[in-house]
Amino acid sequence: MDRRERKKLRIIPWLILVMTNSLLAGCGWWEEKTVETRQEQSVAPTVKRDPEKKSKVLPFVYTAKKELTLTFNGMGDEATMRRLLDELDANQIKATFFLPGMRVAEEPNIANDILRRGHEIENNTLNHSDVSNLDYEQIYKEIRLANEVIQKQTGVTPRYVRTKSGDYNDDLRIAAAALGMKAVVTYNINPKDRDMKDAKAIGEYVERFISRGGIISLNTDINPEVIPAIPYIAKAAVDIGYKFVPLGQLVADGGERKPLEQIPGYDAAKINPDSANAAYRLIYRIETGQPKIALTFDDWGSDKTVTKILDILEAHDVQATFFLRAKGVENNPNLARAMVEGGHDVANHSYSHPVVTTLSPMQLQEDLVKAHRVITEAIQQQPVMLFRPPTGVVSDETGKVIAAVGYKDIAMYDVTTLDWDKKNSADDIVNGILSQTQSGSVILLHMLDDIHTIEALPIAIEKLKKKGFAFVKMADLIQQEGAKAAP
């Protein structure tokens, strides 16, 4: 008999006591059965199921702060857990551990060491279960009994629940709500360590998808490479200026997103087939006697790239206008919100980045309205009503179709350096900006990964300021000065 089996024998009396208390409370005890047996049995429900009350689902936390959380599922053996905790200590990371109730009962010393080192413990169900083959009563008991075990052995009452895989269904949400849990937690960053990736590959995945408010999910009992991956993960956060905090702190520092329909201006862009006489303006530059210019960025990039742009703009006290590809915003809404909280404007650059002249009027309007709503929901307010067509291609017909939706000002540009082409160096970009910019200019840059814009940006800003130019958001410049429209 090995050490773990001896521990199981020692906790049997205590589990019998919990089972007895549960029976006396009228809730029964979860018995492990095969799927076939459960399908054959008809058990009268003893736990009330209220479909009107569902716990929220938390794949990430809504925040513009440079924070995210590292979470772990399961509980490895004692030696593994000690090594993992030591590595987290060495890299100054406080994490959140979703622990199975049975493993806490078997190894309470590990659970208490997790707490002693400043980490959080949450509910990973009693038996580290998935829920797809469990009925509501079984799910309820999996969560409830895990809560009881964890509270008994550590003094901590879990607030969040996650299944073994992170998957969930309505029964899990209803059971979590009935038990007073704050949320069912999933993740938005999954390095897939179950696929037995090496430490560097795990770290590179996190670096690629790292985001504000992100929830990273790793496992403690499958791939030993998770432990040497911690320094790579820590470096990815340090390089971008992000901090790991436990899930509870991340939630406390974050906010609640209002439903789209509750945000004023969500319907400022609408499908409108009557576009034949719609009026629009193509705005290339703004006529002004003042040395004012507008710095604009198109498209979308990784959190790391865009955050570096935001940091440069903040360091130089420059406000810009970001034209967002909404499909990217959909995957990382916190980054769009960070732009707004940084004092910048965000505007519409389409949802899927099509050449607008290749779409039918209905396809174009549907794309623009979808983009408007995605961006509105992400930033929790109406974006500025400027649209920039991908590739800068627009015709008179598409101009009218765009205006009919609600975007009467089509934001073009008069300064472009083709910075999207990685063949163009930082010097090429800077020289192109300086040679073309004049009062009222609209400068086009991009926030794509692996191009030289980040290197060029601080140099260009400093040189333009030395020439006496002041940076103004494009919508503000249009409002202050009026706009020169193309004939």
Residue 394 three-state SS: coil
> Is 459 within 8 Å of 312 (Cβ atoms)?
no
Across 115-135, average pLDDT: 95
pTM here? 0.87
Q: Rounded to whole angstroms, how far apart are CA atoms 141 and 28? A: 8
Give which of 406, 467, 417, 405 is closest to 442, Cα–Cα: 417
Nearest residue to 284 (alpha-carbon basis) of 471, 444, 391: 444
Q: How many CB atoms lie within 10 A of CB 3?
A: 9
> Residue 372, SS3?
helix
Q: In the predicted model, is pLDDT for residue 28 greater than 50? A: no
pLDDT score of 483: 59
The pLDDT assigned to 132 comes to 85
Note the pLDDT of residue 246: 98
Q: What is the pLDDT of residues 302-329, one digit of tens each?
A: 999 999 999 999 999 999 999 999 999 9
Give 15 or 352, the one with higher predicted confidence.
352
Mean pLDDT of the chain: 91
Tell me phi and psi for residue 451, to 5 degrees: -120, 180
Per-residue pLDDT tens over the stretch 190-199: 999 999 999 9
Residue of 388, 370, 286, 270 lying closest to 329 (CA atoms): 370
| Cα 158-163-167 angle, rounded to 5 deg | 135
For residues 213 and 486, the model is more confident at: 213
- Total Cβ atoms within 10 A of residue 219: 18
Q: What domains can be seen in the chain, in order of their start residue?
A: 53-253 (3.20.20.370), 261-485 (3.20.20.370)
Q: Which two tokens stand for residue 463?
A: 């040189």
Q: Which residue has the higher pLDDT, 202 or 1?
A: 202
**Section 202-222 average pLDDT:** 97
pLDDT at 11 over 70: no
Q: For residues 376 and 329, is the Cβ–Cβ distance under 8 A?
A: no
Which residues are paired to 332 by β-bridges?
none
Calpha distance 301→307 (Å, rounded): 9
Q: Above 60 in pLDDT, residue 487? A: no
